[in-house]
Structure 1
């Protein structure tokens, strides 16, 4: 009976067809058990009774197997749907971020020229105030240039986020090495990696330890990606992937799975590790 209860408890989240199938199986198992116990060996005879008990056991085993298959299939379908939605959302975010950053850079570029024109013309008394204003604007005008537009967008976006939280983001990246990936894949892959890194270093009290480094380079016919960040405590790993520390674990962890899916879809390998207070993400992708 406890075997059946596991599936029954899942009914609120199941589809009507699954509920109907479960009810039929439950009724069959319970009914067969009642009939066998009611008749007993005295009425049925020992051999038929043992055969009936064996059939009942096989049916219970089949029920357990079916339950696991149904739940596993539904979980896989749910995860795929979440990843599909995440991919679509990342694509939307990428397009929006690209437009916003382009607009900000154009506006900042114009303002810098206006400040320079005013300062050169001597029409503003406090030149130092203009210099301070120009230096502040320069933060928003410092778009990363890697020769890959999608990587430029995500690095500029995350660079601004790091600047606002006193996090040092060091980047050495050859964007041409990422030609094997689609723009939305680049935005999703690096967005997830940097979001996780920012979240990890955000809680470090010492500002000098809030460090994130990103390296993208060619190595022969391969593209090598490395993201590192400081961490106070090593995460727990399961199947080579860090386990989320958030309370609602079922609603999180899709970012790392999405990263691995992108890399493996292109024939690459993605690994996670943590040594000596440094968490690292390493990816190896064929460029062809």
Structure 2
């Protein structure tokens, strides 16, 4: 039994390392895009000056429309007040949008969190990855993820809701099973372990057409 426990712990630790590496690459890619756009900023200004000097206002309008569209792909859409949360949320929102998934997010963290950045990375990353995976099973026009984060008194409240393929998910042994097949599900185990260690609360609810995870993390 102890050997089995050690094997599971090793698999979970490996999963956590892989998850953090994936998040790092996503965040790094997002900031590379931002730096690239800033690097080109002077060239964009020079181009518009040339159009202005020629009095070609239609060309300027078209150029601005293109820049607006380009910038919207790298713009930081969420500013929670917590740098790590901003990085993870924005990278995942960018990933979701690239897959044709609409994201509605309202997140505010006005206080310094007790939770470590790695813990927060694992929780938010897992919630988003699971929601993205479930959303990909739907037609593009039905893909939607709702994210809400804020303080409730002294606790950080996190809520993720995504639409599902029209049927209620089933539990096994009191837990919703992973849809990723055998060998997966360590993300759920890791997330539950973090919430338990932080003396928090987690609730998962599957209703017809939607799946919601709610988490409360004490911050005192």
Q: Could you say which residue in structure 2 is the equivalent of 1:195?
A: 129
Determine which structure has more spread, i.e. the larger CA radius of gyration.
Answer: 1
Structure with more relative contact order (C-alpha pairs < 8 Å, separation 6 or more): 2
Cα deviation for residue 198 of structure 1 reads: 0.6
Give 1 or 2: higher helix fraction: 1
From 106, 120, 124, the counterpart of 1:186: 120
- Report the Cα distance in structure 1 between the residues aligned to 2:201 and 2:18, rounded to whole angstroms: 24
- Report the Cα distance in structure 2 between the residues aligned to 1:135 and 1:187, rounded to whole angstroms: 30
Q: Is the 8 A contact 1:112 1:134 kept in 2?
A: no
Q: Could you say which residue in structure 1 is the equivalent of 2:89?
A: 155
Q: Could you say which residue in structure 2 is the equivalent of 1:216?
A: 149
- Deviation digits for residues 180-228 of structure 1, max 9, x if unmatched? 2211221111111111101111111251x21101111111111111000
Q: Could you say which residue in structure 2 is the equivalent of 1:30?
A: none
- Report the Cα distance in structure 1 between the residues aligned to 2:174 and 2:106, rounded to whole angstroms: 26
Cα deviation for residue 276 of structure 1 reads: 3.5
Q: Could you say which residue in structure 2 is the equivalent of 1:84?
A: 13
From 239, 247, 271, the counterpart of 2:203: 271
- Report the Cα distance in structure 1 between the residues aligned to 2:95 and 2:29, rounded to whole angstroms: 14
CA distance change for structure 1 residues 163 and 112 in 2, over 3 Å: closer, same or farther? farther
TM-score w.r.t. length of structure 2: 0.87
Q: Is the 8 A contact 1:244 1:253 kept in 2?
A: yes
- Report the Cα distance in structure 2 between the residues aligned to 1:268 and 1:191, rounded to whole angstroms: 18
1:231 counterpart = 2:169: no
1:255 counterpart = 2:187: yes
Give 1 or 2: higher strand fraction: 2
Cα deviation for residue 142 of structure 1 reads: 1.2
1:282 counterpart SS class? strand
Kindly report structure 1 stretches of 4+ aligned residues shifted beyond 4 Å.
Answer: none
Cα deviation for residue 102 of structure 1 reads: 2.4
- Report the Cα distance in structure 2 between the residues aligned to 1:108 and 1:260, rounded to whole angstroms: 39
